[in-house]
Amino acid sequence: MRKNSDQLQRLLKGTETVSPPGALEEKLSLDKPLRVKLGLDPTAPAVTLGWAVVLRKLRDFQELGHKAVLIVGDFTAQVGDPSGKSETRRRLTRDEVMGYATSLLDQFAKVLLPEPLEIRYNSEWLGSLDMEQMLTLTSKATVAQMLERGDFAKRYQEGTPISVMEFMYPLLQGYDSVAVDADVELGGSDQLWNLMMGRVIQERYGLAAQVAMTVPLLVGTDGENKMSQSLGNYIGVMDPPEEIFGKTMSIPDHLMRSWYELTTQVPSDEIDRLFLGLKKGTEHPNALKRRLGREVTALYWGEEAAESAEERFDVIHKYGEIPEDIPEVPAPIGDPVMLPAFIREAGLTTSAGEARRLIEQGAVKLDGERIEGLEMSRSELVGKVLQVGKRRFARII
């Protein structure tokens, strides 16, 4: 393992909060591999660049010889994390949660090393708690402590309902830290209170308290909100290279600095130099954004794929041409063709509902002409190029 000072410098890079102060240095001074916990609830199907920020911090620990303990929150996902919520959220069914969990596991491998890694499902211990054990857990915290949390306090003052189940979420997350004996817990900045509650729960079960470490939240492609699959302002690590590059090129310029810091491996001193050049006028915003697109794409698909994605972007956007290597899809049998279903079956959207919305927004074209309605005759489609958004194409045969 590297010297503690070197480790500390690397681990603190890009973090927002480390609490309590000095606790990480103390843990590192033990000169043993730490158990570093990250819990992610499978409530959506993709690992986004937003999730990748904290996953990459977990990888930093791995590369320094520490044990990554990735908790798939299959139990807590059914409870629902109330962090930042202004109202009680819908509970997911177990089938929904497990469907998402299955799709996420392969994607984690895009970011994390295969070793040292421990993947656990928290239903392993939470699902077997009996009533006596659950009551013991609830006795470890008070209602007054819960109402110290900003979003709970705001909802209480406004008279907005807070279910008792929502109070349970931070207790269950804290019990995860007990179950895996976490030395460190990672999370986004909106998770700090939950992470600190984990310290309380560990201490009240007679364990050493974990260090709470948070990373900033990544603002999504809309330039306003936290990256979220429900808002559609996200990039997935499994998205094709041209999608990652193209979507990165679409972000507002004011996000570039934070995206360089949170989504790439460009050294901090080089980022400083680039943005000083931007301020002085020696660096062009478009050149910086292109490099950002290449850096993000290469991180998940390699340098060659990133270069090809940039070339494809230019073919479509700079020269206004249709790429040569687009997939061919057979026209469906029967008339008329219901376009939302056909677009989904062609793999150009993830759902017919998304396809319908894009048609209504004027984002679907046939041979360069906007499609206005939701159905067309088969003869109108055969031999033409279907375009969805700016980067998805298919030739209909």
- Tens-digit pLDDT profile for residues 154-164: 888 899 888 88
Residues of the chain with CATH 3.40.50.620: 4-215
Alpha helices in the chain (DSSP H): 4-12, 23-28, 49-63, 76-79, 94-108, 123-126, 131-138, 143-146, 150-158, 164-180, 192-204, 241-249, 256-263, 268-280, 285-301, 303-313, 339-345, 352-360, 378-381
> Given a cut of 80, is residue 317 above it in pLDDT?
no
The domain 328-396 is placed in CATH, from the list 3.40.50.300, 3.55.10.10, 3.40.50.450, 3.10.290.10, at 3.10.290.10
Compute the residue count for the chain.
397
**How far is Cα 75 from Cα 41, in angstroms, rounded to an integer?**
8
Per-residue confidence band for 88, with pLDDT thresholds at 50, 70 and 90: low
At 252-280, the pLDDT tens digits run 999 999 999 999 999 999 999 999 999 99
What is the percent of the chain where pLDDT is above 90? 60
**Helix (H/G/I), strand (E/B), else coil: 185:** strand
The pLDDT assigned to 334 comes to 78
The pLDDT assigned to 228 comes to 92
As assigned by CATH, the class of the 241-318 domain is mainly alpha
> Given a cut of 70, is residue 84 above it in pLDDT?
no
Q: Which token pair is 295?
A: 């850096």
Lowest-pLDDT range, 103-107, 198-202, 241-245, 381-385? 381-385
Q: Which residues of 304-336 are buried (b: 16+ CB within 10 A; e: fewer)?
A: ebbebbbebbeebeeeeeeeeeeeebebbeeee
> Given a cut of 70, is residue 395 above it in pLDDT?
yes
> Given a cut of 60, is residue 287 above it in pLDDT?
yes
At 17-59, the pLDDT tens digits run 999 999 999 999 998 999 999 999 998 889 999 999 999 999 9
The pLDDT assigned to 90 comes to 65
The pLDDT assigned to 320 comes to 63
DSSP single-letter state for residue 189: G
Q: Which token pair is 42?
A: 């499978």
Q: Around Cβ 81, how many Cβ atoms within 10 Å?
A: 21
> Given a cut of 80, is residue 87 above it in pLDDT?
no
The pLDDT assigned to 293 comes to 97
**Helix (H/G/I), strand (E/B), else coil: 323:** coil
CB-based contacts of 316, cutoff 8 Å, min separation 6 = 246, 322, 323, 390, 391
The domain 4-215 is placed in CATH, from the list 3.40.30.10, 3.40.50.410, 3.40.50.620, 2.40.30.10, at 3.40.50.620
Residues of the chain with CATH 3.10.290.10: 328-396
Q: Can you spell out the DSSP letters for 330-361?
A: PPPSSSSEEHHHHHHHTTSSS-HHHHHHHHHT
pLDDT mean over 339-368 = 88
Indicate left, alpha or beta for 128 from its phi (over 0: left) and psi (-120 to 50: alpha): alpha
> Given a cut of 70, is residue 89 above it in pLDDT?
no
Q: For residue 338, give the nearest of 384, 385, 387, 373 by alpha carbon.
A: 373
The pLDDT assigned to 315 comes to 80
> Given a cut of 70, is residue 1 above it in pLDDT?
no
The pLDDT assigned to 85 comes to 57
Sort strands 369-370 and 364-366 into parallel, antiparallel or unpaired: antiparallel
Lowest-pLDDT range, 149-158, 199-208, 313-322, 383-392? 313-322
Residues of the chain with CATH 1.10.240.10: 241-318
Quote the pTM value. Answer: 0.80
Residue type, 188: G
What is the percent of the chain where pLDDT is above 70? 95
> Given a cut of 80, is residue 303 above it in pLDDT?
yes
> Given a cut of 70, is residue 328 above it in pLDDT?
yes
